[in-house]
Amino acid sequence: MPSIIKFDNILADITYLKELASTYQLDFASLPQQRQLYTEQTRQRVGQYALISDEGGVGLVDISDPKLLPLRVDFAADALIYRKDKGGGKNEAIAKAIGIKKNAQLNVIDATAGLGTDSFIMASVGANVTMMERTAIVSALLHDGLIRGGKEPNCAEIVARMRLASGDAREQLQQRVAEQDTNVDIVYLDPMFPHKKKSAAVKKPMKMFQTLIGSDLDADDLLTPALSLAQQRVVVKRPNYAPFLQDHTPTMQIKGKKHRFDVYLTHHSLRTGHTKSADETQTPD
């Protein structure tokens, strides 16, 4: 079982950490000091990957690689970079892919939430986002990121539109279909796809994440319940070289340099006349 580790020499909210551990079925461990973390003894005790709690919040570490900084969900940092680089997200390809419209509050399920970056961008353009994530250690990172982000003035308003529904999305989507839930406008999917060997450009902490998660080889199973549930569209983010999910040709595509968004307008939207607008077929970046 993966662990969450606290250090005796760093002040921590033990009640919170124990709750986090019990919610996501993680072991709770403590070490006297940080320098005991990257040792063979600790690796034997907790395994290669673990969560630590330090001054920066909860972070994912690779016990065998002390050079890697802990990987955290930091919506405040994202918000700053995002604002600095883009000056607002409505022109983001993802905003176009989900069909963001002025004054329309979309309810989005991000069924493969990962580190929540795409969820955050969708929430930053006004969507209410439910994040589903099945890997316990990643859910705990998201949980902690939401709590810290909710206290940061530069992103608290955006984080307030995000909620975590930990667990396998295939079951959760099917459950909502069975309950005839009509409140979900968009289902967004970004499953992990096997990376080309040459893709050295992936930053090291992200490599740690990719190694931890592996490839989501069952991703095809998400498309059918997603199409049944989404009232407007299903959006699938794929590397440009990846095939369509279930070999199912999308209604339209939005292509970027490395990724594309496959957009499936659902039968609900076709029935109610919610169809694509002209600018959604263009090719950004």
Ligand X SMILES: C[S@@+](CC[C@H](N)C(=O)[O-])C[C@H]1O[C@@H](n2cnc3c(N)ncnc32)[C@H](O)[C@@H]1O
Nearer to ligand X, 111 or 265 (CB): 111
Residue 19: name the closest of 147, 171, 133, 132 by CA: 147
Q: Can you tell me which of 27, 216, 220, 280 binds ligand X, judged by CB under 6 A?
A: 216
Decide: is 144 part of the binding site for ligand X (CB under 6 A). Answer: no
Which residue type does 215 have?
S
Smallest gap from residue 134 Cβ to ligand X (A): 3
**How many residues bind to ligand X according to rule CB under 6 A?**
21
The position carrying tokens 């063979």 is 40
Decide: is 117 part of the binding site for ligand X (CB under 6 A). Answer: yes
Nearer to ligand X, 195 or 267 (CB): 195
Q: Can you list the positions of beta strands (E) in the chain? A: 3-7, 27-31, 49-54, 57-62, 107-110, 128-133, 162-166, 186-189, 233-239, 252-255, 259-265
Site string for ligand X, 192-211 (x = CB under 6 A): x-------------------
CA gap 184, 125 in Å, rounded? 17
Decide: is 114 part of the binding site for ligand X (CB under 6 A). Answer: yes
Smallest gap from residue 169 Cβ to ligand X (A): 3
Nearer to ligand X, 156 or 192 (CB): 192
CA gap 253, 156 in Å, rounded? 32
Which string of DSSP letters, residue by residue, matches 238-271? EETTSPPGGG---SEEEE-SSEEEEEEE-HHHHH
Q: Return the range that interacts with ligand X (CB under 6 A); candidates 56-64, 184-192, 254-262, 272-280.
A: 184-192
Q: Return the range that interacts with ligand X (CB under 6 A); candidates 10-18, 32-40, 106-114, 272-280.
A: 106-114
Site string for ligand X, 145-174 (x = CB under 6 A): -----------------------xxx----
How do 186-189 and 57-62 pair as beta strands? unpaired
Written as six digits, the tokens of 3 are 């662990």
Point out which residues bind ligand X (CB under 6 A): 111-112, 114-118, 132-135, 138, 168-170, 190-192, 213, 216, 222
